[in-house]
Structure 1
Amino acid sequence: MNNLIKFNHLTLNTLYLKFNQPIRHMTLACFALFISQQQVHAANSTSSSNFWSKSSCVSQFYKDTPPYLVKDSLKKNTTPICFNGFNVMYSGMSKTPLWSAEHLTVQRLSVKIKRQDSFHEEERLNTTSRSTLKDYRASGYDRGHMSPNADMPDEASQYDSFSLANMVPQAPKNNQEVWRKLEEATRAVVTKQKQNVYVVTGPVYSNQKLKTVGNGVLVPSSVFKAVYYPETGVAGAYYAPNDNSLKVKVVSICEIEDLTGVNLFPALSESVKRRVYDLPLSTTDVKPAKKYAFSNLDSKSQCANEVSEADLNALKKQFTAPGRPNSNGATDSFVGSNIVQMLKQVVENLLAFVLKLVKAS
């Protein structure tokens, strides 16, 4: 990064000496702004990295207990990643997350930040395992967030939410209509009813013959969002086919566990995970005093097997704070890669602006 700043400082110096006084002054002003942005961003990134400590990683899980891959076939080539504001279990086989977990609170959602799209490849993953921007290009599928951008309370979390490690290929209408409304409804329960919620979102690969996009990125047959509101004990899951049918239904957590082979909430009892409630499908269904009625008890689905305390503790240790190595030895490069990418963009814009002034003169 220092070399990048040094190089562009020399470039700007050359421009300063070469052109007339107004352009010189404009160049220096732009460069001063550029340097100040880097200092502020570096400070913010460091602050964010310190804030999301290891304890903050596991706090995204109900009772600090991460979802557990019960089906052995799912465990091959997986990487647990602690992002700012959410966690992911990434699969190098599907090149998607198997789940993405977050804890939404009234305080967290009280912070509103402007959306800034920054889709990017996850540099913590090796090149053979990670999905790329090219994989999604002209695929017919959206880059579908599992933990959504609108849930994020700061710029570092927002940036992380645009990592492709948090994305699955999602049918456009499913992503932009069905899923958007469910995400909005979940946030509305938190903000209007003052209920915190634990959320686990992910893909379902249940078809015998699955589609792929790009270089082997699996397209989910369906997507799910499991929720648990500890203040009221309400639990359940949204389940939607990954197509443009606009279909969605509310099911038990056990049904999703049966389909995925993942124990989504290991700290929840089976009796809670079998319950189905009339969860809201859009913000219009969310009223400040409205209670969600119990619908039925799922007695057919096979709930995920219980997980031993030793296995859960071992998994918990794999979720380390951003900026530190994860269990597979890959380094979390959020701060470095984020700053370098922003530096490149600012420098390119700055030089383009100066060249325009040169031509105009």
Structure 2
Amino acid sequence: MGNFHPIPDKKCLQQFYKDTPPYLIKESLTKHTYPLCFNGFNVMYSGVAKTPLWVAESLTPQRLSKSAPREDNFHEELRIPSNHRSTISDYRGSGHIRWRVAPNADMSNEEAKSDSFSLANIIPVANLDVLTNLEYVIRGIVIRNKVDLYVVSGPIFSSRKLKTIGKGVIIPNAVFKAIYIPKTGTIGAYYIPNNDSSDVKIVSVCFLEELLNINLFPQLTEEQKRNTYNLPLSSKDLNLNKEIEYSYWDAESQCEISVSDKDIDMLQNRFRFE
């Protein structure tokens, strides 16, 4: 079993753009949720899906310049009640791969690497290779262009009839990675079907918010979230010191509603640990 390493409030909130966590707009999403602060990332875990609803990270060149030994240690998250948490046996023989939503390779120290193996950071996926490639590309954006980047990743449950593995771990139809670079205003998201294909779509943050009923970046305006940049899909697309080009304005998707200062403060308080 893994050990919880206490994180100071400030360090916990720094994983979010302007210290503001993604906000669950749809009330049904909030049922049995657990805000979890880890070393190097934060999670909003669902005891209904038995997966995270989102995982947030702040990536910087300094952070990614550090490395630590990797030790595979998948473990149950003991901060979650036993009836709501996923287990090792849920994935055994399921035919699905355990995807660490906050990647191990993003972690700069042993504690963070250990935390990334918490099952609260895991989603069952069919094709790990395409996700590993995108994680590499996102790190490449940060390192090659020397920019800070915020990324929110998670599952997309878009079918009425969802399949499960083990004792109720829900398999998503797709997964996403939404990014924002404050220095350049670059914004957009990857939409990845949860199947054997290598198809990846670049979409707007508003497109995702309409699917998810989650305000992914509450401190950004609707205008900003409709902007969509031509995000790189492979290492070949990474250009040193060249800004990512603008692609299109999404005028069709329904961005999520804005979040009040009061609701933001309440959510921030849920991510504070003594």
TM-score band w.r.t. shorter chain: over 0.9
Deviations 1:114-139 (A, max 9, x none): 32111011011110000000000010
Q: Say whether residues 1:193 and 2:145 are aligned partners.
A: yes
> Quick check: which one's helix share is greater?
1
**Structure 2 counterpart SS, 1:267:** coil
- Percent of aligned pairs sharing the same letter: 51
Matched with 2:16 is: 61
- Pick aligned residue for 2:176 from 182, 204, 224: 224
When normalised by structure 2's length, the TM-score is 0.97
Alignment of 1:6-45 (within 5 A): none
For structure 1, the 5+ residue unaligned runs are 1-44, 325-361
Give the root-mean-square deviation of aligned CA atoms: 1.2
**Structure 1 counterpart SS, 2:270:** coil
Instruction: Write the letter of the residue equivalent to 2:163.
Output: K
Matched with 1:338 is: none
> Quick check: which one's strand share is greater?
2
Alpha-carbon distance in 2 for matches of 1:190, 1:64:
20
**Structure 2 counterpart SS, 1:315:** helix
* Shift of residue 62, structure 1, vs aligned partner: 0.2
Greater Cα radius of gyration, structure 1 or 2: 1
Deviations 1:334-359 (A, max 9, x none): xxxxxxxxxxxxxxxxxxxxxxxxxx
Matched with 1:147 is: 102
Deviations 1:224-268 (A, max 9, x none): 000000010000000010001111011000000000010000001
Instruction: Write the letter of the residue equivalent to 2:12.
Output: C
Matched with 2:111 is: 156
Alpha-carbon distance in 2 for matches of 1:244, 1:114:
30
CA contact (8 A) 2:86 2:120 kept: yes
**Structure 1 counterpart SS, 2:82:** coil
Matched with 1:244 is: 196
Instruction: Write the letter of the residue equivalent to 2:189.
Output: A
Alignment of 1:165-314 (within 5 A): 165-171=120-126, 173=127, 175=128, 177-314=129-266
Alpha-carbon distance in 2 for matches of 1:293, 1:155:
36
* Shift of residue 276, structure 1, vs aligned partner: 1.1
**Structure 2 counterpart SS, 1:257:** helix
Alpha-carbon distance in 2 for matches of 1:223, 1:71:
19
CA contact (8 A) 2:70 2:110 kept: no
For structure 2, the 5+ residue unaligned runs are none
Matched with 2:63 is: 108
Would you identify which runs of 4 or more consecutive aligned residues in structure 1 move more than 2 Å?
Answer: none
Q: State the number of aligned residues.
A: 272
**Structure 2 counterpart SS, 1:82:** strand
**Structure 1 counterpart SS, 2:36:** strand
